[in-house]
């Protein structure tokens, strides 16, 4: 990761940010830093995120485990502080398990998980605080979203941790620059990808200098039974000799969804012109969309919407050649297991910040004046042009190029 030098005014803003947060940390937790040589024995890591953002934090959790192999690690997690996002996620996942994606790292990377179902003060004090107090952490690490989060969000997390009984140093807030730097970074072609902020937070606990992007890995723990299930499902489908292409037409947020009619047309083109077998994936909420697509294909495709757990989906995507879909958790999961991704990106965030890791070149975006809007629940303008203006042919072209590049690589570049 290349070093960044900010203009003077932004350096002043960053200094003010660090001064405020450092002072608050000293007031709440008694010290501003831990000794560089200290070896923590009990670490709490905090990551609020749904599937996609959680996947992006897995390399940092892996790095933390490598840095402190003998430490006990407790993961404290919730979907989001925003009630609207919490409700959307629970409805979309259609499961009683608030955060099924944590199974990718527990127990392989973390020893204990405390999932927060409600952020009410009473629930936190009665149901969550006793776990933290009993764990007795000697280090707490915030795994932030892009750019380290806002001053307000970090302040609230400090107060939140104090309420839960944390009495040890808290790291993961020093390396962040906050959202005020995003536009300048974009103009300098230095946009920070979502995977980098939590990695830099871990670097605060065990400094190793620059982070080599080539070393970033996603060691997901996928049960063998789920791998066997995916093999059996595809074998029964009779797709031997074909490129298996997964299609993900859904998304937690409706304003991140490419029109369904476009997915239908795209699948028809792919099936007619290429030796592919299409598998529609998603949650129960997208089952009807899957039926519409498979119906338009004459039933010559497999609709698995609502029929896979998170880990089964990961196992299935490991066997796919290509994944095509909206920006969301399924795309990040596909990239994490090594599947090539053609992602249809909305204009919510800057290009380069949230594309599936290693697949930026295959993403499709529309240039619209109102992007980025950073609105995570609805389109502020009400027209959703950042997605509706993306044509079927544009996505199809990316798919063809991706498939050709995969075949080229499979034949040793010959």
For residue 214, what pLDDT is reported?
Answer: 81
Question: In which element (H, E) is residue 340 found?
Answer: strand 340-344
**What is the C-alpha separation between 34 and 37, in angstroms, rounded?**
8
Q: Rounded CA gap, 216 and 213, in Å?
A: 5
352: tokens are 């380069």
Under-50 pLDDT residues of the chain: 1, 32, 36-37, 82, 84-86, 88-89, 91-96
280 Rama class: left (phi>0) / alpha (psi -120 to 50) / beta:
beta
Distance CA 287, CA 202 (A): 39
3 state SS of 305: coil
Q: What does the mean pLDDT of the chain come to? A: 88
Q: Quote the pTM value.
A: 0.91
Q: What angle do CA 21, 26, 31 make, to 5 degrees?
A: 125
Residue found by looking up tokens 């993306």 in the block: 390
CATH 3.40.50.2000 in the chain, residue ranges: 20-214, 224-410
- Which of 243, 248, 279, 269 has its CA nearest to residue 342? 248
In sequence order, the 6+-apart residues with CB closer than 8 A to the CB of 151 are 17, 20, 21, 178
Query: What is d(CA 20, CA 399) in angstroms, rounded to the nearest whole number?
Result: 48
Q: Does the domain formed by 20-214 have CATH 3.40.50.2000?
A: yes
Position 414 scores a pLDDT of 56
What is the tens place of the pLDDT at every residue in 127-137? 999 999 999 99
**Contact between 181 and 43 (Cβ < 8 Å):** no
Query: Cα 248–249–252 angle (5° rounding)?
Result: 95
Sheet holding 243-248, edge to edge: 302-303, 276-280, 243-248, 322-326, 340-344
Q: Answer for the pair 56, 357: CB distance below 8 angstroms, yes or no.
A: yes
Residues with Cβ within 8 Å of 117's Cβ and at least 6 positions away in sequence, in order, are 78, 98, 123
Predicted pLDDT of residue 75: 97
CA pair distance 146, 144, nearest whole angstrom: 7
In degrees and rounded to multiples of 5, residue 162 shows phi and psi of -60, -40
pLDDT at 3: 53
Please spell the DSSP secondary structure of 196-249, one letter per residue.
HHHHHHHHHHS--SS--GGG--------HHHHHHHHHHHHHHT-TTSEEEEEE-
Pair of tokens at residue 308: 């896979």
Q: Which residues of 132-147 are buried (b: 16+ CB within 10 A; e: fewer)?
A: beebebbbbbbbbbbb
Is residue 157 within 8 A of residue 142, CB to CB? The reply is yes
Res 413: pLDDT: 59
CATH 3.40.50.2000 fits 224-410, yes or no: yes
* Structural contact between residues 105 and 77, judged by C-beta atoms closer than 8 angstroms: no
- What integer pLDDT is reported at residue 97 of this predicted model? 54
């Amino acid at each position: 990761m290349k070093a960044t030098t900010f203009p003077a005014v932004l350096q002043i803003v960053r200094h003010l940010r660090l001064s405020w947060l450092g002072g608050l940390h000293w007031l709440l937790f008694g010290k501003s830093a831990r000794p560089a040589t200290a070896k923590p024995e009990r670490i709490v890591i905090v990551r609020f995120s749904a599937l996609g953002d959680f996947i992006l934090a897995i390399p940092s959790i892996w790095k933390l485990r490598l840095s402190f192999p003998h430490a006990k690690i407790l993961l404290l997690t919730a979907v989001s502080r925003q009630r609207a996002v919490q409700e959307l996620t629970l409805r979309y996942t259609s499961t009683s398990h608030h955060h099924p994606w944590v199974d990718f790292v527990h127990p392989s990377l973390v020893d204990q998980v405390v999932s927060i179902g409600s952020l009410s003060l009473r629930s936190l004090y009665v149901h969550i605080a006793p776990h933290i107090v009993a764990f007795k952490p000697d280090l707490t690490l915030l795994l932030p979203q892009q750019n380290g989060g806002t001053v307000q969000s970090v302040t609230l997390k400090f107060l939140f941790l104090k309420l839960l009984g944390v009495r040890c140093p808290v790291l993961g807030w020093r390396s962040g620059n906050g959202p005020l730097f995003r536009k300048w970074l974009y103009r300098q072609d230095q946009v920070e990808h979502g995977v980098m902020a939590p990695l830099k937070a871990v670097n605060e606990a065990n400094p190793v200098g620059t982070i080599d992007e080539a070393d970033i890995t996603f060691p997901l723990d996928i049960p063998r039974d789920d791998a066997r299930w995916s093999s059996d499902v595809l074998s029964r489908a009779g797709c031997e000799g074909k490129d298996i292409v997964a299609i993900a037409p859904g998304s937690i947020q409706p304003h991140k969804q490419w029109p369904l009619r476009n997915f239908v047309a795209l699948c028809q083109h792919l099936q007619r012109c290429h030796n592919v077998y299409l598998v529609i994936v998603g949650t129960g909420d997208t089952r009807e969309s899957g039926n519409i697509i498979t119906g338009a294909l004459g039933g010559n495709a497999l609709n698995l919407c609502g029929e896979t757990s998170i880990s089964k989906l990961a196992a299935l995507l490991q066997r796919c050649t290509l994944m095509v879909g909206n920006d969301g958790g399924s795309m990040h999961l596909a990239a994490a297991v090594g599947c090539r991704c053609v992602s249809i990106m909305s204009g919510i965030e800057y290009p380069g910040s949230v594309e599936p890791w290693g697949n930026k070149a295959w993403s499709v975006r529309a240039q619209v004046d109102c992007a980025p809007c950073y609105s995570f629940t609805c389109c502020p303008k009400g027209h959703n042009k950042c997605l509706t203006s993306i044509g079927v042919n544009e996505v199809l072209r990316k798919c063809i190029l991706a498939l050709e590049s995969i075949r080229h690589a499979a034949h040793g570049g010959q």
